[in-house]
Amino acid sequence: MSKLSPHFDSSEFVCGCCGKSIKMSDLLIERLEKMHTLMAAKAIYVNSGYRCNNNPWGSPIDAHRKGMAADIRVQRKDGSYYTAEDIAEAAERVGFKGIGIMEPDSCHVDTRGDEPYIYDWWHGNETTGVDWTKDSGHTFIRGTVFDGERNPAPSEEHTKDELLQELKALYEKYS
Ligand SMILES: [Zn+2]
Ligand SMILES: [Zn+2]
């Protein structure tokens, strides 16, 4: 098992039925990292990543079988979980075109539209069966301000702190 990115390891994406894996899409991992930052996540949990052909979950042609999909839950720094709708919104904002809500707090994301798949766009609700395939104008974006946008980046704070220290040193030197 190996590290795919700062917050994801290949072991998190193995098939639930047999433990096998294939190379996961780089774009999938890149976008999951973007979501991690945007949502200021404590952790993104992968409920299901790769599914082999014997795995009974999902359709025989679903994007999980190609290593380009993940069903995820996103935990906030305070330990609580974002809703499925929140995850769908963040997923759309980082560029995912395959998004399926799984009530109450999980969401399917896949890289269709940017990587080869039979359909290029899908918004759905896997719990209620609602499918917006014919409504290409559908959006999950409701203008939520996520924690990752609200809080200043730690590096910025550090820089301000350093600046203050330098000013103090200068003040002491010349006063
Ligand atoms: Zn399997
Ligand atoms: Zn899925």
Average the pLDDT over 161-165 and give the result: 81
Q: Rounded to an integer, what distance in angstroms lies between the CA atom of residue 158 and that of residue 168?
A: 15
Per-residue model confidence as pLDDT tens digits over 7-39 = 999 999 999 999 999 999 999 999 999 999 999
Ligand sitting nearest the alpha carbon of 47: 2
Strand order across the 122-125 sheet: 41-48, 69-76, 106-110, 98-102, 122-125
Residue 1 pLDDT > 80, yes or no?
no
Q: Do 24 and 72 fall into the same domain?
A: yes
Which class for 36: exposed (0-12), middle (13-18), buried (19 or more C-beta within 10 A)? Answer: buried
Ligand sitting nearest the alpha carbon of 98: 2
Q: Which residue has the higher pLDDT, 12 or 165?
A: 12
Instruction: Give the up-direction half-sphere exposure of residue 26: CA atoms within 13 A in the CB hemisphere.
Output: 0
Domain region containing 175: 151-175
Ligand sitting nearest the alpha carbon of 55: 1
pLDDT at residue 126, as a whole number? 94
Torsion of CA 47, 50, 97, 92, to 10 degrees: 30
Ligand sitting nearest the alpha carbon of 54: 1
Q: Do 127 and 92 fall into the same domain?
A: yes
Residue 152 pLDDT > 80, yes or no?
no
Q: Do 113 and 166 fall into the same domain?
A: no
- Cα of 1 from ligand 1 centre, angstroms: 16
Share of the chain above pLDDT 90, in %: 81
Q: Do 128 and 64 fall into the same domain?
A: yes
pLDDT at residue 136, as a whole number? 83
Q: Do 81 and 163 fall into the same domain?
A: no
Q: Do 95 and 170 fall into the same domain?
A: no
pLDDT at residue 99, as a whole number? 98
pLDDT at residue 46, as a whole number? 98
pLDDT at residue 154, as a whole number? 58
Per-residue model confidence as pLDDT tens digits over 53-85 = 999 998 999 999 999 999 999 999 999 999 999
- Cα of 79 from ligand 2 centre, angstroms: 24
Question: What's the DSSP call for residue 24?
Answer: P
Ligand sitting nearest the alpha carbon of 112: 2
pTM score, whole prediction: 0.85
Radius of gyration of the chain from its Cα atoms, rounded to whole angstroms = 20
Q: Do 52 and 115 fall into the same domain?
A: yes
Q: Do 50 and 17 fall into the same domain?
A: yes
- Structurally, how many domains does the chain consist of? 2
Share of the chain above pLDDT 70, in %: 95
Q: Do 85 and 14 fall into the same domain?
A: yes
Q: Do 20 and 99 fall into the same domain?
A: yes
Q: Do 104 and 76 fall into the same domain?
A: yes
- Cα of 126 from ligand 2 centre, angstroms: 9
Average the pLDDT over 39-50 and give the result: 98
CB 49 within 8 A of CB 24: yes
Structure tokens at 6: 């700062």
